Amino acid sequence: MKLLEDRIRAQGIVKAGNVLKVDCFLNHQLDVALFREMGREWKRLFADRPIDKILTIEASGIALACMAAEAFGDCPVVFAKKAQSVNVDGDVYSVKIESFTHKRVYDVFVSQKYLGPEDHVLIIDDFLANGMALEGLAEIVRLSGATLEGIGIAIEKAYQGGGKAIREKGIRVESLARIAAMDDLTGEVEFVEA
């Protein structure tokens, strides 16, 4: 998606340690107009799938998932929580997910009330690097008996291999911007040619 690639080139900051900082429009300050266009693009890419529920993980994926849900006709958004709280009752699907960004392992869960065998799920998230979060979300979908229709990603670090590993499992992944390489010394970002 050229619009997203242009924003990354203009406002993204490449930092040491393989970090792309895009918090001015993607995951701290949110550009809702950009998110709306991203939601429409995921709708176009997955128009052939009977998606009726969107799954993400807190926190950065929630806003993207909501805009995608709007594009898909206001289907419900379910987000995997990273901490148990008193207002979640009943049985849950739970998995462990290692966060690339935070360098820690989370127990994430989704209430069984909100995901079941009748659902056709699209997973939405902001970044795909090593794929651990998405593997965990896909496992939650599997545990629920729902059908995983695909995964929509804002920015994929294609050189890290997470996307390749997930695609090799037969899961459809549509990333709006696929990064081939980044250089923290020059600040340059190269994208995978479409």
User: CA torsion sign, 131 to 127 to 121 to 105?
Assistant: positive
What 3-state DSSP class applies to 7? helix
The per-residue pLDDT for 60 is 87
Q: Spell out the per-residue pLDDT of the chain, length 194, in tens.
A: 999 999 999 999 999 988 999 999 998 999 999 999 999 999 999 999 999 999 999 888 999 999 999 999 989 999 999 876 656 667 999 999 887 667 788 889 999 999 999 999 999 999 999 999 999 999 999 999 999 999 999 999 999 999 999 999 999 999 999 999 999 999 999 999 87
C-alpha 79/C-alpha 190 separation (Å) is 31
The per-residue pLDDT for 100 is 65
The per-residue pLDDT for 88 is 63
CA nearest neighbour of 149 among 123, 169, 129: 123
Quick one: CA torsion of 178, 182, 186, 190, rounded to 10 degrees?
-30
The per-residue pLDDT for 103 is 75
The per-residue pLDDT for 162 is 95
Domain boundaries, the chain: 2-191
Kindly state the helix (H) or strand (E) to which residue 8 belongs, with its residue range.
helix 2-11
Instruction: Check if CATH label 3.40.50.2020 holds for domain 2-191.
Output: yes
| In contact, 161 and 129? CB cutoff 8 Å | no
Q: Which two tokens stand for residue 172?
A: 């459809």
| In contact, 68 and 38? CB cutoff 8 Å | yes
